[in-house]
C-alpha cells in the first residue's frame, strides 16, 4: 500500500453509539485520488456507512484545512435527509474543521443510537462518549456555554430542542451563532441518535503538506488574488464589506425576490431589509472564519429587541423577511437568533411560515393562523414548532406535510421536499434549473452559485448566463458551476473563494498539499464523480430524475405584476440540455458509468 499522502492522516473514527465505543479505521491512500476530502470523502464514506446504519452521519475535513491556505475552513456533514429522503450535505465554516484535523482525524463516522442523551468529545486523537442528561432540554446557546465551561476553548456543534423533539428541519448550531445542515434536518439525525453535541477540542496533530514551500507560495498567490477582488477585498470588496445581504439590492432591482410565499417577486419597501439598513440599525461588527481574510460574517445586536447574534444572512432576510412579508431587519435578526437557540433552521422555518400565512389567508384561519408579517405570531410559532406543540406539530413536519394537512398543494414551493430559497426562478431561470437538478433538492445557496444569477452582474459578478437564458448555454453554465462547487466543497475552501480563485489555483494548492500531480482536469473528473455518486445514492433510496422538477407555483403560475409579468419557470428545454451536458441523456447513469462510480466508492469501505 502506498504511503499516506501529504495533508492527510489516512485515519477516520467510527463512533458506535449502540455499543458506546469507538474504533479507529485506516483509510486507503488511493481513496484520496478519487475523493479529495470534504463533500466527496463524506459522501463516499456515507455510501458505505449506510450499509451499517441507514441513519449514519459523516463529518469530513480536507488536506487544505489547518494548513493556513486562505478560506480553507469548511467541515462537511453528510447524511440522508429526514426532510427530503435524499442524500444531503452541510458545509459549515468557522473553526470546527481545523479542530477535527488537529485532533488527528480526516473524518468522523457516527452510527447506531444511544439509549440515553450523550455528547461526543473529540480530543488529542481520541474520542469519548459523555453523559448529556443535564444538557438535554437546553437551547443551543445554553448547551454550548455549559460545554465550554467543562472543556475550555472548544468548538461545539449542538442541537437545540427542535432536534430533540424530532422537527424535520432541525439543524445543528456551530459555536452558538451559525446554522449548518443546509436545511436538511441534520439536527433531527443527531437528536434521533440521542446526541446533543459534538465537541471538537483539537490537539497537537498537524497535517504535513507534501511540499510546504510550494503550498506557502500558492497560499500567498491566492491571498493576493483575494486582495485584488472587487468582491472579497476585506476593506473594499462588496461581499466582504456588506455581507451576503447585498444580494437583495440586485435581486430587488431585477424584481426576483421571494415575496408572500413566492406569489410575487416584487417587494415594495425591500430597502428596510437591505445591507444598508442592517449597517445603520443593528450591525455591531464583522466576524470571520479560520484562515479567512474576507470577514463577510455579520455580528448584530438589537436596540428595540434583546439579542446578540450572527446574521441574518441574505438567506434569512429572504425567508423570514421578504417571503413572510416581515419588512423589519431587526425583527428578522431576532427571529434568526431565536431559531439558532431553538435549533430550527431559520431559512426553512421562514419559508414554511410563509406557506402557513398563505394557507391562513386562503382558509380564513384567523387567530389560529398567521397574518403576513405578524412578528409576534411568528415568534410564537417558532417556539411551538421546536417543541411540537399545537399547530407546531404540523409545521414541524415540513412544507409538504403542512400543505397536505390543509389540502392546499398549490401553495408548495419545494423541490424534493425542501423549499427554494433566495430568488424567484420564474425570473432567474438558471436558478430554477440548478435547484431542480441538485441531488439534495431546492436548497442551493445563491452566493455559492452567484455566477449563474443574471442579476448579480450588477454586483460585479462575472456571470455565465444572461437574461435570454438560452437552454444549451444555461445548462452548460449550471453544470460547470456544479463541478466547481463540488471541487471547493471537497477542498473545504469556502465557495466564496471562487470569486477570486479558479481551477489552476485549486489544483496547484492540492498538488502542493498532497504530493499528487493534480491538473485542473483531474479536479473536474473528481467533481463529476461526486455528482454521479450523489445520484447513485439517491437512486438507491428511491429518488431519481423524475424528481428533477419545479412545483406548479413556478412552472405554471405566471408572475402577476411588474417588469416580469407573465413569466413562468419552464425549464424543460434547459433540463434536457443539462442531461446532455452531463452525459446522462435520460437523466440516469448508464450501467458502465454506475459501475465506475461504485468501484471508486469501494475504496471507502469501513470494514
- Tell me the percentage of the chain whose pLDDT exceeds 70: 99
Banded model confidence at residue 182, pLDDT cuts 50, 70, 90: low
Banded model confidence at residue 477, pLDDT cuts 50, 70, 90: very high
The structural domain count of the chain equals 1
Whether residue 446 lies inside any domain: the answer is no
Q: Name the strand (E) or helix (H) holding 576.
A: helix 572-582
Q: Nearest Cα to 475, choosing from 342, 339, 549, 579?
A: 579
Whether residue 229 lies inside any domain: the answer is no
Whether residue 262 lies inside any domain: the answer is no
Whether residue 301 lies inside any domain: the answer is no
Using the predicted structure, report yes or no on whether residue 518 has a pLDDT greater than 80.
yes
Whether residue 459 lies inside any domain: the answer is no
What are 500-515's pLDDT values in tens digits? Answer: 999 999 999 999 999 9
Note the maximum CA span of the chain: 68
Using the predicted structure, report yes or no on whether residue 607 has a pLDDT greater than 90.
no
Interatomic CA distance for residues 111 and 181, integer angstroms: 18
Alpha helix (H) ranges present in 304-427? 314-316, 329-342, 346-363, 375-386, 392-395, 399-405
Range of the domain at 166: 11-202
Whether residue 544 lies inside any domain: the answer is no
pLDDT at 183: 82
Whether residue 151 lies inside any domain: the answer is yes
> What is the CB neighbour count within 10 angstroms for residue 211?
15
Dihedral sign computed on CA atoms, order 224, 228, 233, 235: positive
Q: What is the CATH number of the domain that holds 84?
A: 3.60.9.10
Whether residue 260 lies inside any domain: the answer is no
Using the predicted structure, report yes or no on whether residue 258 has a pLDDT greater than 80.
yes
Using the predicted structure, report yes or no on whether residue 194 has a pLDDT greater than 80.
yes
What are 399-420's pLDDT values in tens digits? Answer: 999 999 999 999 999 999 999 9
DSSP 461-513: ---S--TT--HHHHHHHHHHHHHHHHHHHHHTB-GGGGGT--HHHHHHHHHHH
Using the predicted structure, report yes or no on whether residue 179 has a pLDDT greater than 70.
no
Banded model confidence at residue 1, pLDDT cuts 50, 70, 90: low
Residue 242 pairs in a beta bridge with none
Amino acid at each position: 500500500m502506498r504511503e499516506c499522502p501529504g495533508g492527510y492522516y489516512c485515519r477516520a473514527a467510527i463512533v458506535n453509539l449502540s455499543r458506546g465505543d469507538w474504533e479507529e479505521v485506516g483509510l486507503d491512500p488511493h481513496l484520496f485520488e478519487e475523493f479529495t476530502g470534504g463533500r466527496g470523502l463524506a459522501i463516499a464514506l456515507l455510501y458505505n456507512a449506510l450499509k451499517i446504519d441507514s441513519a449514519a452521519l459523516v463529518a469530513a475535513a480536507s488536506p487544505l484545512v489547518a494548513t493556513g491556505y486562505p478560506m480553507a475552513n469548511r467541515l462537511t456533514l453528510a447524511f440522508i435527509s429526514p426532510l427530503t429522503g435524499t442524500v444531503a450535505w452541510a458545509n459549515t465554516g468557522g473553526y470546527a474543521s481545523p479542530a477535527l484535523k488537529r485532533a488527528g482525524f480526516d473524518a468522523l463516522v457516527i452510527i447506531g443510537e444511544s439509549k440515553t442523551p450523550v455528547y461526543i468529545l473529540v480530543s488529542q486523537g481520541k474520542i469519548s462518549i459523555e453523559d448529556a442528561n443535564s444538557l438535554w432540554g437546553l437551547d443551543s446557546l445554553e448547551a454550548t456555554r455549559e460545554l465550554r465551561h467543562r472543556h475550555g476553548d472548544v468548538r461545539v456543534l449542538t442541537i437545540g430542542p427542535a432536534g430533540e423533539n424530532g422537527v424535520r428541519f432541525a439543524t445543528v448550531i456551530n459555536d452558538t451563532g451559525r446554522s449548518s445542515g443546509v436545511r436538511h434536518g441534520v439536527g433531527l439525525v443527531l437528536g434521533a441518535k440521542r446526541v446533543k453535541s459534538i465537541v471538537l477540542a483539537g490537539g497537537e496533530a498537524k497535517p504535513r503538506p507534501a511540499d510546504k514551500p510550494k503550498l506557502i507560495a500558492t497560499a500567498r498567490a491566492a491571498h493576493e488574488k483575494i486582495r485584488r477582488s472587487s468582491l472579497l477585498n476585506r476593506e473594499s470588496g462588496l461581499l466582504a464589506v456588506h455581507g451576503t445581504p447585498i444580494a437583495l439590492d440586485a435581486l430587488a432591482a431585477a424584481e426576483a425576490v421571494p415575496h408572500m410565499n413566492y406569489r410575487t417577486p416584487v417587494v415594495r419597501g425591500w430597502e428596510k431589509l437591505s445591507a444598508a439598513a442592517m449597517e445603520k440599525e443593528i450591525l455591531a461588527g464583522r466576524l470571520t472564519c479560520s484562515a479567512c481574510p474576507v470577514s463577510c460574517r455579520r455580528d448584530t445586536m438589537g436596540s428595540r429587541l434583546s439579542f446578540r447574534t450572527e446574521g441574518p444572512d441574505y438567506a434569512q432576510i429572504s425567508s423570514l423577511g421578504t417571503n413572510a412579508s416581515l419588512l423589519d431587519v431587526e425583527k428578522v435578526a431576532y427571529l434568526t437568533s431565536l431559531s439558532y437557540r431553538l435549533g430550527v433552521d431559520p431559512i426553512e422555518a421562514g419559508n414554511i411560515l410563509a406557506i402557513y400565512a398563505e394557507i391562513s389567508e386562503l382558509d380564513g384561519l384567523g387567530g389560529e393562523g398567521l397574518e403576513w408579517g405578524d412578528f409576534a405570531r411568528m415568534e410564537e410559532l417558532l417556539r411551538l414548532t421546536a417543541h411540537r406543540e399545537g399547530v407546531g406539530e404540523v409545521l414541524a413536519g415540513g412544507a409538504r406535510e403542512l400543505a397536505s394537512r390543509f389540502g392546499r398543494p398549490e401553495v408548495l414551493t419545494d423541490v424534493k421536499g425542501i423549499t427554494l430559497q433566495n430568488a424567484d426562478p420564474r425570473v432567474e431561470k438558471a436558478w430554477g434549473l440548478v435547484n431542480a437538478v441538485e441531488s439534495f433538492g431546492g436548497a442551493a445557496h445563491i452566493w455559492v452559485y452567484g455566477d449563474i444569477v443574471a442579476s448579480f452582474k450588477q454586483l460585479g459578478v462575472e456571470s455565465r448566463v444572461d437574461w435570454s437564458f438560452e437552454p444549451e448555454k444555461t445548462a452548460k453554465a449550471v453544470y460547470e458551476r456544479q463541478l466547481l462547487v463540488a471541487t471547493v466543497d471537497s477542498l473545504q475552501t469556502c465557495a466564496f473563494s471562487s470569486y477570486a480563485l479558479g481551477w489552476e489555483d485549486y489544483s496547484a494548492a492540492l498538488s502542493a498539499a498532497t504530493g499528487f500531480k493534480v491538473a485542473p482536469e483531474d479536479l473536474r473528473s473528481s467533481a463529476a464523480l461526486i455528482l454521479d455518486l450523489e445520484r447513485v445514492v439517491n437512486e438507491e433510496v428511491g429518488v431519481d430524475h423524475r424528481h428533477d422538477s419545479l412545483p406548479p407555483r413556478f412552472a405554471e403560475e405566471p408572475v402577476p405584476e411588474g417588469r416580469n409579468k407573465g413569466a413562468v419557470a419552464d425549464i424543460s428545454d434547459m433540463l434536457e440540455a443539462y442531461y446532455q451536458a452531463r452525459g446522462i441523456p435520460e437523466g440516469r447513469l448508464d450501467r458502465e458509468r454506475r459501475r465506475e462510480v461504485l468501484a471508486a466508492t469501494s475504496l471507502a469501505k469501513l470494514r
